Structure 1
Amino acid sequence: MRARTTAAVLVAGLLAAGCGIQGSDVIEAGGPAKVAVPSSTERSRALMYLVTPDGELAPVVRGQGFPAGYTVAPSAMVRMLLGGPNDRERAAGLRTEVPARERPELVGVEFGNGVVRVQLGGPVRSLSARARQQVVCTVEATQPPDQESRVELTGSDGALAPADCEIPRG
């Protein structure tokens, strides 16, 4: 009995002493997680691109429950993008680089010769490179997976050279 009591006291003492692991402060382990861009076969929802708190472009799902393979028209997605982030997206720290005071309205979208022309009702040359990429990537996300199209932005101050989304498609 005495051996059991001694063993129990030893075990309890060891447990009380812990494992010898010392406490430490929080250790930084790198930047935030990266967002994976959905592959073209996963595009059964509407995607638009917003700017994350660390300045990267990220796809944001707008609307769900579309039939498999369904994509929303480029004009509808550009209109959503020009409307800026919704309350949920803003609460997550997402934003747009298209300035609210200069946010142009969509005039139209045309297709031809491997180029999708997005005509905006305001100037496009004053848009930042990231704002331009927001529009380009949003439009490219609406295109069928087997269709390679460049996106040309046109506005009241002329046309920009056709561009590709700099975020690789899956």
Structure 2
Amino acid sequence: MRRRARLLIACTGLTALAGCGVPTSDVIEAGAPASGMPGPPPTTDAPEPATVPLFFLTDGEPTAYPRPATDAADLTSVVRLLLEGPNEKEEAMSATTDLPRLSGAPSVTVTDGHTIRVILPDTPTPVSRAALLQLTCTVRYAAAPFPHPSGADGTPRLQVTGTSWTMTSPTASCPAKPSAEVRAGGPLHSGEDD
């Protein structure tokens, strides 16, 4: 009897290992793959990309044009965007520029706590007054940290340097202000009067 029980157990084990007589087959594709529980719905509060007011010329006057900026807090990136000139949309709105096209990247630094220095490489002649105002207004209203006024007159200034020339402009000399629509895209400097 013990022998029969062992034989029965062995046959049952072999049957289980043999798959109960069900023949093997390849993968059969039918329907969509199984999925788990759905995740949370996408949020509608995605942050808007930062915008900065770039000042181009409209009828010879500096005018703010909002532009998305990947790094609105980096003043060098903002100045590079300005030096690239107006895009097609801005040109269609009559935007022009008096700034030179550069072969090298500009350098932007805060030199003494209240002076922003912009170096334009390979620029042998000084920029025009209109070009200087484009830079001055863009720097004044950029979303980057602004130097705290500490000069004799308390006004931060912009210093633009090229090959053997330098021009200086107080940021208060910017005659234009971004409109509310332009300013809605990004913060202005703290402490600046509008």
TM-score range, shorter chain: 0.5 to 0.7
* Cα separation, 2, equivalents of 1:146 and 1:159: 20
* Cα separation, 2, equivalents of 1:92 and 1:153: 28
Determine if the alignment matches structure 1 residue 50 to structure 2 residue 36.
Answer: no
* Cα separation, 2, equivalents of 1:160 and 1:118: 10
Greater Rg by CA: 2
**TM-score normalised by length of structure 1:** 0.60
Residue correspondence of structure 1 range 71-150 to structure 2 within 5 A: 71-100=72-101, 103=102, 105-111=104-110, 112-123=112-123, 125-142=125-142, 143-144=144-145, 147-148=148-149, 149-150=156-157
Q: Aligned to 1:106, what secondary structure does the other structure show?
A: coil
Q: Aligned to 1:160, what secondary structure does the other structure show?
A: strand
Query: Cα distance, 1:162 vs. partner?
Result: 4.2
Match of 1:24 in 2: none
Per-residue CA deviation, residues 86-143 of structure 1 (Å, 9 max, x unaligned), is 000001111101244xx46433111123101111103375311001111111112125
Query: Cα distance, 1:168 vs. partner?
Result: 5.6
- Runs (4+) off by over 4 Å: 143-146
Match of 1:160 in 2: 167
Decide whether the 8 Å contact of 1:75 with 1:106 is kept in 2.
no
**TM-score normalised by length of structure 2:** 0.53
Counterpart residue type for residue 132 of structure 2 = R
Q: Aligned to 1:161, what secondary structure does the other structure show?
A: strand
Aligned residues: 120
Which residues of structure 1 form unaligned runs of 5+?
Answer: 1-43
Q: Aligned to 2:170, what secondary structure does the other structure show?
A: coil
Decide whether the 8 Å contact of 1:110 with 1:117 is kept in 2.
yes
Counterpart residue type for residue 92 of structure 2 = A
Decide whether the 8 Å contact of 2:72 with 2:78 is kept in 1.
no
Which residues of structure 2 form unaligned runs of 5+?
Answer: 1-49, 150-155, 178-193
Decide whether the 8 Å contact of 1:122 with 1:157 is kept in 2.
no
Q: Aligned to 1:80, what secondary structure does the other structure show?
A: helix
Could you say if the C-alpha distance between residues 146 and 114 of structure 1 is closer, same or farther in structure 2, counting changes exceeding 3 Å?
Answer: closer
Compute the RMSD of aligned alpha carbons. 2.7
* Cα separation, 2, equivalents of 1:146 and 1:79: 19
Decide whether the 8 Å contact of 1:50 with 1:59 is kept in 2.
yes
